[in-house]
Amino acid sequence: MNSGLEKETETRYAEVGLLIAALHANVARLEELTGGEIDTITDHQGQPFLLRRAQAQLRLNDASRLDAILNSLPACIAILDADGAVMSVNQAWAAYDTSLALAAAGPGHAIGTNVLAQCALAGGDGAAQARQVAHGIGQVLSGASRHWSFELACRPGGVASWLLLTVTPLADKNLHGVVVMYMDISERKRGEDELRRFRTAMDCTDDAIFLVNCRTTRFVELNAAASAMLGYSREELLGMGPCDISAESTWPEMAALYQRLMDNSGSSLSDEMALIRKDGSQVQVEFHRQALKSGPDWIIVAVVRDISERKEAALRLQYQAHHDGLTGLPNRALFYDSLTRTLHQATQHDWMVAVLFIDLDNFKTVNDTLGHGVGDDLLVQFASRLLGCVRARDTVGRLGGDEFGVILVMQDELNDAASVAGKIRDVLRAPFVLGQHELNVTASIGITMHPLDASLPDELIKYADTAMYRAKQAGRDTFRFFTAQMNVEVLARLELEKALRRAFENGEFVLHYQPKVALDSGCVAGLEALLRWERPGYGLVAPDVFIGSLEETGLILKVGSWVIDQACRQIGQWLRSSVGALQVSVNVAGRQLAEGDVDGDVIAALECHGVPPELLELELTESSLMLNTERTIKTLKDLKRRGVQVSIDDFGTGYSSLAYLRRFPIDKLKIDIAFIREVTSNPDDAAIVQAILGMARSLKLQVIAEGVETAAQLAFLKRNRCDQVQGYFFSRPLALPELEALLREDRQMQLPAPVTPSYRKTLLLVDDDTHVLSSLRRLLRDDGYHILCAGSAAEGFDLLAQHCVQVIICDQRMPDMSGTEFFDRVKEMYQDSFRIVLSGYTDLDSIMKAVNKGAIYRFYTKPWDNAVLRADLREAFRHYGLLHNLQAGDDKRACPTTGRLSEAAAQLSGAESPPA
């Protein structure tokens, strides 16, 4: 039953389908049958199809909508067929009066009119434009171009107007033709004309003009002067903004300025600033800015004037107002201002300031006898010499007439002022050549100090002037300090210089000699010749009192030459006596190398006294090597080829550069006494000394340690394989008779005992309480230890330098150094030692810090547990033996050198650490 219904339903659907297909094929017949009353039929799938009447209505509706759109446009639009005839137009086209505008070339042709033909017939003024229009339409119609446009000038109603003609092909595939559209662009053209006139006006001014859009912060317009001023093209500047060319202003500052201009529209602001040119240079300009409203935006109009010449002129005027026209130096007003500023800075930084008041002696006589022209020339030359006596940070001024002033900023020494005064006197020694005349001129100088004498500019200048008159009263050609005590010191220095000149002339200088001892034998290996002054009435003057003055005055050149000759004379005398050959070293000052003839002095002395060159050694400081380096290298190499020895004195206190050790022909290094004083107790000094020794061995240089005064220092140096020592431990510098007695006795230095071998269990006890030391010795005497006792940290360091100590017990509270502080240093210098703190006071803070740093091994409080202490000591020695693989009777094992010292030596020398 159901299957019968399904078959029947399928049959009906098939029939309906055939019916709909037939209807699709016979739309016209269907419209006749329905009488046009039915527009749409829907198939069994819900898809409609239109009958012709409905399709026509739809096309009509589409055309109506297109007409509505075209008519709503302000442009004149027409559709031309393939021949150029007008097929359709909008209302704007139809309403356009062709005769009043462009005739054949313009819009307004009636439907059916052939535009191409009309353009071809055009004559008169519009003929050229008509031919161009016809050519453009033909190009698009022929397919030669997809688009063509042209701007036409016209006068509809007698008013000058512009039209923009565009020609494009029809989009309809079934039709061939073009769409022609005329759009009125008169407003745009008038705007362009106005902009052109505006640019022309802008370009007519010499000032640069910039228009800035406040919203985009970019230039929107500028003139040719702006490009010329900054060196950028117009296109480059239009991609930039004000901040890109400003040398001073930031954008937040500029934005705040623009906001003020917008808030006060109509007003202008002026200021001066620097702009950056394309080449990086700067130009000083004057700005005038005003804000203008432009639609929704604000435009900043900036008129910029180059004021570089005006600035330069102002600077010239300012310079002339503050500088002396003759010498170019600051005048009194500027000198006063400079002094005021200097005093302000000096007060802030705690500097000293000296003011020198200088007056040329007998200048009036020069003017009266030789004329003012010669006098002016003298002042100019003196000003030039005066500038050469001061540093760049100091100030020199002409205060009037023949009076000059100098402001000295002194951060280091009080003697700077006296040194400059001395230089001024020295530069005046050379005669002044003034045309046909040659004059010798002197000056009187007054000196005052801030803050010792005064702190106000007026007072300082007045006091310096007063001091200058005191110098005049003292006989001219000198200087005086305003402060009495300073005068005493300076006068004493002057007296010293005079006495030194007399000393050389009178033969008051002598040589003393200090022995150098070889550490492998304890015998005298050489001598250092040291200059001494036997000043009448004063006795033997210490060298640090007069050596500096010898160098400052230049007397060191003569005295140094004498020292070389005297040393060679003595070498020669010993060589021909029972003393025999003995090497002597002589100190050479930097000024001797830079200004003297050291090479000539040495050769002459060696030849004169018949001395083999290898018996003479020259000692130079690191700083002296750096004076006139090339000349110094040549001199030393020439002497080295002859066999003369060269050593570096005070090594480690100057440049300490490995580079000059390669460049200079050096045989020996002398470690400065500053590193030897605390070499047994200061880890840094010990590391430096070991580093120098390791480096010298790598470079095959001998090392001499100067200033050795204790057995501990000697033991440390011998243990680290130093070659020679020099110091009071063996002998102070000796006069010739005492020295020769020492040499004839063949006196030797007692060398330190061999270091306690590491296999021997050595215990160091350090405590300022003798009872505690005695108690510990009694407790531990039967345990087989080699026990050393020290009553202070200093004694402990000395014993550590002379013995190989495995375990140290130290009291925490000692007067000179706490136990933890002592062990902090010991850990750096003797890292393998086991360190135990013993104290009656519990200072957990410092103890815990020491434990954390690894400075101590154990900590005991007094009274201690004897059994525990003895057990821990046995464990410490056992641990040390295991660490170093030591056994009793292992007498060939040296005491190990560990820690930072050997590492520093190895790093500096580039070799393995030296054995102890």
Separation of alpha carbons 537 and 104, rounded Å = 130
> Per-residue pLDDT averaged across 726-732, rounded?
92
> Per-residue pLDDT averaged across 805-810, rounded?
92
What is the pLDDT confidence band of residue 575, given thresholds at 50, 70 and 90? very high
Separation of alpha carbons 20 and 78, rounded Å = 43
First to last CA, the chain: 124
One DSSP character per residue, 581-616 reads: ---EEEE--HHHHHHS-HHHHHHHHHHHHT--GGGE
Grouping H, G, I as helix, E, B as strand and the rest as coil, residue 101 is: coil
Give residue-wise pLDDT tens across range 510-559.
999 999 999 988 899 999 999 999 999 889 988 888 988 888 888 999 99
Give the pLDDT score at 689: 92
> Per-residue pLDDT averaged across 210-217, rounded?
85
Tokens of 257: 């300025």
Q: Residues 232, 238, 243, CA angle at the centre, nearest 5°? A: 80
Tokens of 42: 């829907």
CB 227 within 8 A of CB 210: no
Give the pLDDT score at 554: 86
- For residue 883, pLDDT beyond 90: no
Give the pLDDT score at 904: 44
- For residue 789, pLDDT beyond 90: yes
- For residue 79, pLDDT beyond 80: yes
pTM of the model: 0.52
Report the 10 Å Cβ neighbour count for 481: 29
> Per-residue pLDDT averaged across 223-234, rounded?
88
> Per-residue pLDDT averaged across 325-351, rounded?
90
Q: Answer whether the bond into residue 451 is a cis peptide, omega within 30°.
A: yes
What is the pLDDT confidence band of residue 707, given thresholds at 50, 70 and 90? very high
**What are 734's strand-pairing partners?**
513
Grouping H, G, I as helix, E, B as strand and the rest as coil, residue 706 is: strand
- For residue 901, pLDDT beyond 60: no
Dihedral sign computed on CA atoms, order 723, 729, 730, 732: positive
Tokens of 138: 């033909």
Mean pLDDT of all residues belonging to the chain: 82
One DSSP character per residue, 381-404 reads: HHHHHHHTTS-TTSEEEEEETTEE
Separation of alpha carbons 566 and 574, rounded Å = 12
**What are 397's strand-pairing partners?**
405
Dihedral sign computed on CA atoms, order 499, 504, 506, 510: positive
What is the pLDDT confidence band of residue 13, given thresholds at 50, 70 and 90? low
What is the pLDDT confidence band of residue 486, given thresholds at 50, 70 and 90? low
User: Dmax over Cα atoms in the chain, in whole Å?
Assistant: 161
Q: Which range has the worst mean pLDDT, 104-108, 279-283, 738-742? A: 104-108
Dihedral of CA atoms 82, 86, 92, 96 in degrees, nearest 10, equals 120
Q: Which range has the worst mean pLDDT, 579-588, 693-702, 883-892? A: 883-892
What is the pLDDT confidence band of residue 250, given thresholds at 50, 70 and 90? confident
Tokens of 3: 């299957």
Cα 231 to Cα 161, 310, 488, distances in angstroms: 39, 21, 66
Report the 10 Å Cβ neighbour count for 895: 23
Tokens of 732: 């102070």
**Which of 43-47, 60-64, 812-816 is predicted most confidently?**
812-816
Give residue-wise pLDDT tens across range 379-423.
999 999 999 888 888 899 999 889 999 999 886 555 578 888 888
Tokens of 57: 């209505």
Give the pLDDT score at 397: 93
Separation of alpha carbons 504 and 500, rounded Å = 6
| Radius of gyration, CA atoms only, the chain | 53
Q: Which amino acid is at 345?
A: Q
Q: Tell which residue, 626, 616, 558, has the closest CA to residue 594.
A: 626
Residue 756 carries which DSSP code? P
